[in-house]
């Protein structure tokens, strides 16, 4: 079993993924942990997959998972989590907007938690994305209570038990809420740490498209009903 798996979902991140992988490798080498890096190329239409294959020639323990067509953010995360073999599993984006060397903060907290969520101390997105984020977090809190400060922050650290216990069905942007609400419902301990958020310097974000947002709200309502049924069933069996 590997100490740490780093799962990196990537969609059309040809211009960012190599630098992201170099930064991850530099940090895990410093940590001295047994590690693996799992990149999920989620049906990219650019040369993201080629960039990862080139990086694998210089970075040990780097694996590439690819699927076509694009399955969405949730589909990419599920594929990455299924491939990961670590006792601890870090989720980290390929877009260059976070610093992986801040994993030290997460590792310090995981000793007393099962799931550590990053939150963007100063969000460096445009106004539309910040408003979308505020609205989404408000609706999530209304339906599920407080899960964490920044539900959709792409930097998280899990104990393997969380990913094995929480059922994940969403293929879209709702998967972060699905994981956090499921973890809270099953009594896992959740901690939070502030992380640096950097402006995107290359590539294009896709999470703010109207289709993605509408699908996420639809999935959110369906998940609330599904989670309630799961908990009732578990209590009746217990």
d(CA 238, CA 29): 44
Counted residue by residue, the chain has a size of 238
Q: By residue range, what is the domain housing residue 94?
A: 2-237
d(CA 43, CA 76): 9
Q: Which of 51-55, 201-205, 212-216 is modeled with the greatest confidence? A: 51-55
What does the radius of gyration of the chain's CA atoms come to, in whole angstroms? Answer: 17
* DSSP code, position 68: S
**Residue 8, phi-psi category: left (phi > 0), alpha (psi -120 to 50), beta (remainder):** beta
- Cis peptide leading into 161, omega within 30 of 0? no
Q: 213: domain CATH number?
A: 3.90.550.10
Which tens digit of pLDDT belongs to each residue from 115-160?
999 999 887 766 667 666 667 667 777 667 778 889 889 999 999 9
Total of domains in the chain: 1
The reported pTM is 0.85
In a 3-state reduction of DSSP, which class is residue 86?
strand
């Amino acid at each position: 079993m590997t100490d740490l798996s780093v799962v990196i979902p990537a969609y059309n991140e040809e211009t960012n993924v190599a630098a992201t992988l170099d930064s991850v490798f530099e940090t895990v080498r410093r940590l001295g942990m047994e590690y693996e890096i799992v990149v999920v190329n989620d049906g990219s239409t650019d040369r993201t997959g080629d960039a990862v294959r080139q990086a694998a020639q210089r970075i040990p323990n780097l694996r590439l998972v690819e699927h076509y067509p694009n399955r969405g953010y949730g589909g990419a995360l599920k594929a990455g989590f299924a491939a990961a073999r670590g006792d601890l599993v870090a989720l980290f984006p390929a877009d260059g907007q976070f610093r992986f060397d801040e994993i030290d903060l997460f590792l310090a907290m995981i000793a007393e938690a099962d799931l550590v969520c990053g939150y963007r101390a100063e969000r460096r997105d445009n106004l539309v994305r910040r408003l979308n984020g505020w609205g989404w977090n408000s609706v999530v809190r209304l339906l599920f209570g407080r899960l964490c400060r920044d539900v959709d922050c792409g930097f998280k650290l899990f104990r393997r038990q969380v990913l094995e216990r929480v059922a994940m069905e969403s293929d879209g942007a709702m998967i972060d809420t699905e994981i956090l609400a499921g973890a809270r419902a099953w009594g896992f301990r959740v901690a939070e740490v502030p992380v640096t958020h950097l402006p995107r310097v290359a590539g294009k974000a896709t999470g703010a498209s109207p289709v993605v947002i509408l699908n996420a709200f639809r999935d959110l309502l369906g998940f609330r009903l599904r989670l309630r049924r799961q908990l009732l069933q578990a209590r009746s069996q217990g």
